[in-house]
Chains A and B, each alone.
Chain A
Amino acid sequence: MRAALVAEYRKLVSTRLWWVLLIALAAYLAFVGGVLAFSIVFAPDGQDTTMPGGADAAAGVYGLVNAIGYVFPLVIGSLMITTEFRYQTITQSLLVEPRRTVLLAGKLVVAIPLGLVYGLAGMAALVAVSAPLLALKGDGAFVTDPDVLAVILLGVVVTALWTVIGVGFGAVLPNQVAAVVVLLAFTQFVEPIARLALGAFDATSSVARFLPGAAADGLIGASLIGEMGGGSGDLLPRWAALLVLLGYAAVLAGVGRLTTLRRDIG
């Protein structure tokens, strides 16, 4: 198993993709975080906007690592599997490790530190740009507020979870182009719309909490969509959110193992 981890680590660092996506994530979060912090700080006073203030505002901004950043760890995680099929290195991978469960487990495990690195970089970029802006206002950046700190730390953790879920997703859908398209469509359109739609009705709003992005918001305890949608801000408690996310990872990985990784290779 140790050798399988070394192999997965080397697969990652021997191509450029991991740091290209990492830089893209950091730049994207820095930009959007900066814009959001700016609009919070310079929102005209007195006017009752939907903009949250104080620690809620800070948590919302730092929570962007999850709210809008999660597509990046999902994609890099899925690519850990789909590139093997795209370039057929899966053949050589299975020659040196025919136990397919070990191959998949190696990827899932290596996704954790990879995701932590993504989470750290994304959060660092986000905080570096938005905290000074938020601090301009009397309310401050709240980086030492325990609730906000929890958002920062769990934002890093949840990024690692997204990476693991991405690996599971790649195992279910090993076609690289299809996987990236589905991930983009799901994270950018399907899930946000589903969350707003389901959240709009009392009967369904509790279901919306179980969507992966909503569960992740529950884990970090901050929800941009929830706050902006108004009223649908009820999230799963942290422990339940964690279980839901782990469940997504386990189900996807299990299905991938029983389908893609059981088929003939070649």
Chain B
Amino acid sequence: MGPTRDAPVLAVEGLGKSFGSVRAVDDLTFSVRPGAVTGFLGPNGAGKTTTLRMLLGLTRPTAGRALVDGLPYAEHERPARVVGAALEASSFHPGRTGLGHLEVFAAQVGASNRRCRELIDFVGLGPAAERRVGGYSMGMRQRLGLATALLADPPAVVLDEPANGLDPEGIRWMRGLLRAFAAEGRTVLISSHVLSEVQHTVDDVVIIAHGRLVHASSLADLGALATPETYVESPAAGALAGLCDDRGWSRRADGAGLVVAGVPAAEIGAAAYAAGIELHQLVSRGVGLEDVFLRLTGGVR
């Protein structure tokens, strides 16, 4: 199956939202291209859900605008046929069956009851289709939300924290699905508060903190921000620290030793040897993307 029309660009321009004195989203600008999976990342409370709600016309911005193919979501003729969305808090009537839930919203996106049945099987809820959602697990609700988003087979998909509550098998399945969507040329935007959760799914990243944009690039470019670190341990700790300072290396204490940022192990080893400093450990540590993410968002480990 392929998208039913050209995939739209999703764009946010100078977007802002204040709740009283809380600036949930502040002068945010970014765009999401078709044919790729974009990860919308930031710690809890960064403003991801609020941004997505504004993009989908549920919440009114206090500044700027959010556009789907140049037009606000709500001004599209049949918006849910252009963007299929599942929001974190989008919830279900516990007394309705999974299939019943899909059928309720199918009429307005032009999906048949047969399509609902196909979708509920597709997301792996076939055996639970006639059970009430009140008895669904978190992961099952995620799958049902995804099925709802896909009702119209939309060219763009927006999912808020889709990995929450999914088991590892489910995460892998979702990853394959989203990759396939991007390969078909669809626009895919997924949010997460954990980079590592979507690291293997996304092509592009948009990172926000405190409602503001802190980084937007391809995943590869984000990786380039990662600098290697080396862990060194010496019985002559003072001499080692002095050596680092002489060379202008940035260091920080870590357990019994030091972590030197941005300097390869070989260089440190050679310098210590030359200075006659005895080393007990000299270990290269790759810096994970997660560390870069935490640094960008000002988080603490």
Given A7-B104, A10-B103, is A266 in contact with B92 using a C-beta cutoff of 8 Å?
no
Structural contact, A15 and B53, CB atoms closer than 8 A:
no
- Please list 21 pairs of residues, one from A and one from B, whose beta carbons are closer than 8 Å in the complex, sorted by A's number: A10-B100, A10-B103, A10-B104, A11-B93, A14-B97, A14-B101, A15-B96, A87-B92, A89-B93, A94-B57, A95-B79, A95-B80, A95-B90, A96-B109, A98-B73, A98-B74, A98-B79, A99-B74, A264-B58, A265-B58, A266-B53
Task: Kindly state the interface size class of chain B when it binds its partner.
Answer: 20 to 34
Across the interface, name the chain A residue whose C-beta is closest to B132: A15
Structural contact, A4 and B108, CB atoms closer than 8 A:
yes
Across the interface, name the chain A residue whose C-beta is closest to B83: A95
Which residues of the partner chain A approach B94 to less than 8 Å between Cβ atoms? Answer: 87
Query: Closest Cβ of chain B: how far from A257's Cβ, in Å?
Result: 15
Q: Give the residue of B87, B104, B108 whose beta carbon is less than 8 angstroms from that of A91.
A: B87
Which residues of the partner chain A approach B59 to less than 8 Å between Cβ atoms? Answer: 264-266
Q: Give the residue of A16, A91, A93 whose beta carbon is less than 8 angstroms from that of B89.
A: A91
What is A's interface to B at a CB cutoff of 8 Å? 3-4, 6-7, 10-11, 14-17, 83, 87-89, 91-99, 264-266
Structural contact, B53 and A14, CB atoms closer than 8 A:
no
The A interface is mostly helix, strand or loop, or mixed, namely: helix
Given A10-B103, A14-B100, A98-B74, is A92 in contact with B90 using a C-beta cutoff of 8 Å?
yes
Which residues of the partner chain A approach B110 to less than 8 Å between Cβ atoms? Answer: 3
Which residues of the partner chain A approach B105 to less than 8 Å between Cβ atoms? Answer: 7, 92-93, 96
Structural contact, A95 and B91, CB atoms closer than 8 A:
no
Structural contact, A14 and B85, CB atoms closer than 8 A:
no
Give bound CA distance, A4 to B110, whole Å: 11
Structural contact, A89 and B108, CB atoms closer than 8 A:
no
Answer yes or no: B60 CB below 8 A from chain A CBs: yes
Which residues of the partner chain A approach B262 to less than 8 Å between Cβ atoms? Answer: none
Query: Closest Cβ of chain B: how far from A148's Cβ, in Å?
Result: 39
Give bound CA distance, A97 to B97, whole Å: 21
Which residues of the partner chain A approach B91 to less than 8 Å between Cβ atoms? Answer: 87-89, 91
Structural contact, A16 and B58, CB atoms closer than 8 A:
no
Which residues of the partner chain A approach B80 to less than 8 Å between Cβ atoms? Answer: 95-96
Answer yes or no: B253 CB below 8 A from chain A CBs: no
Which residues of the partner chain A approach B260 to less than 8 Å between Cβ atoms? Answer: none
Structural contact, B92 and A6, CB atoms closer than 8 A:
no
Answer yes or no: B56 CB below 8 A from chain A CBs: yes
Across the interface, name the chain B residue whose C-beta is closest to A17: B95
